[in-house]
Structure 1
Amino acid sequence: MTTITAAMVKDLRETTGAGMMDCKAALTENAGDMQASIDWLRKKGLSKAAKKAGRIAAEGLIGAVTAGNKGVVVEVNSETDFVARNGQFQGLVKMIAQVALDVGADVEKIKAAKVGSVTVETAVADAIATIGENMTLRRAASLEVSKGVVSSYVHNAVIEGAGKMGVIVALESAGKTDELATLGKQLAMHVAAANPLALDSAGLDPATVKREKDVLADKYRQQGKPENVIEKIVESGLKTYYKEVCLLEQAFIHDSGKSVAQAVKEAEGKVGGPIKVTGFVRYALGEGIEKQETDFAAEVAAVSGQK
């Protein structure tokens, strides 16, 4: 039998906004499986959250850089936030982002690329030796358009182009690049704040859509709704879901009275031509990485030879 800890209950409560006892019941019912417990709470109408956000656990910096019609975003991790505030580390992140802009988003190609007389991999190893803490290039992504711009936004920037979150957005258009760049920056800020999962419903993972449909259907079955009614309610619920997670259907953060798609369409007048949002990438530092929690007192005891 799975042991349900107070920490597990706390995490589920923070994720869903459900009550303490409901969270414990959900975890018990689902053998401690966090995602299954979230779905269980949602089916009973007890969860206030649609999805679990990845816990931000790793330290380091996100670097983002653009040049005209292309842009990249990279994540470089360190062991502590103290190193992320180190000037040498910050310079390393900006250098890696610039290299990625030139060679592409393949991590191994970035590591093998030359900077002066050394490779990026060697530069990272030298920084580790100097600063005394492990560092790693975790991931990279790039966007490019044939005509138009790729814009970026860095949230909580510690230096220009590097911070705790980085976003790039690609806009395809033959219109004025300065107006496009302004719109691109606004959209990148929107992506940072709203965290869409895809451009539109067609870009969503089919498994994610199916899970959403199943959760909605089970929720209303438990309320005793007939199947023919459930089908209509689920379709309506999916439309609401798409407005929450699809970029073009989300309410624009700079003008909540219109959708992002409407804001882009309206901007075509200023730009002087059609605009197509072709893609976006949003990196939040450490998402998806669980940092091992340590007992500081136990660590000190271990070092001193005590038990």
Structure 2
Amino acid sequence: MIVVSTPTGSIGRQVLDTLVDTDTAVRVIVRDPARLDPRVRERAEVVQGSMTDVDVVTSAFTGADTVLWVVPPDPRAASIAGHVLDFVGPLCAGITTQGVRRVVGVSSLGRGIARNAGQISAIFAMDDLVESTGVHYRSLCMPGFMDNMLRQVHPIRHQGVFYSTLPAGVRVPTCATRDIAAVAAGLLLDDTWTGQQNVPVLGPEDLSDDELAEIMTEVLQRPVRAQQVPAEAYKASLVDHGLSDAWAQGLVDMSAAVQTGIYAVEPGTSRAATPTTFRQWCTDVLRPAVLAA
């Protein structure tokens, strides 16, 4: 039995696209079953409730061997650490009481070197707590998602610009959520791995914002440029759009940590597991979204 959290989220939904086509028993935890894909409702067992409810999580983990755990964001959370712990406490309790053998968690690059990195630091605390249970664990370590660019479809289409806090010329890795989901699904379906390990999930290239803009210009066939936003203005804009002060500050701190190189990985780390280039992602995902905006 495989349990999938956040089954309507970007990663969980795509993982389920793979799992429902196998013979493996699948169970999902979801607040609103009506939001599930019809294929999932037909194929998977549904446990309705919150991932922060220890009784719900314990019920979902009963008889389960492997779990995918994704902490969903809450931009209005008063505390980043408190938000993450609300989800991790029930997870660790369920692992311990129900004898779950394997957990695949969605984390970030930079573990062991990141300090004061906002949401990234909080998710590393999740990794540590999960590992303290002794469960076999694979921590998927990603950079930023290509799919985050979908939040800027409107300015890309109507202003020919996307906004970023990164200085021009700073190259960082980025990956597609469909590739993260593919790696996660492969681990969930593999019942042979043991121990605890970080798994870097990288796209095939590091790119600067100017290079991203050049690729978008070519794929979208319209001019697109990158506009750097100072950290103070970035935070103010986030708060104006309804984010809590804590969540906005966390995003600012996370961006600063990325600028100082927390996404750097050891030389020779394989990138073959994540094949989607930014150009291909723009063709497949961003271009249809911009045309439909």
- Same fold by TM (over 0.5)? no
Which protein has the bigger strand share?
Answer: 1
**TM-score for both structures, normalised by structure 1:** 0.23
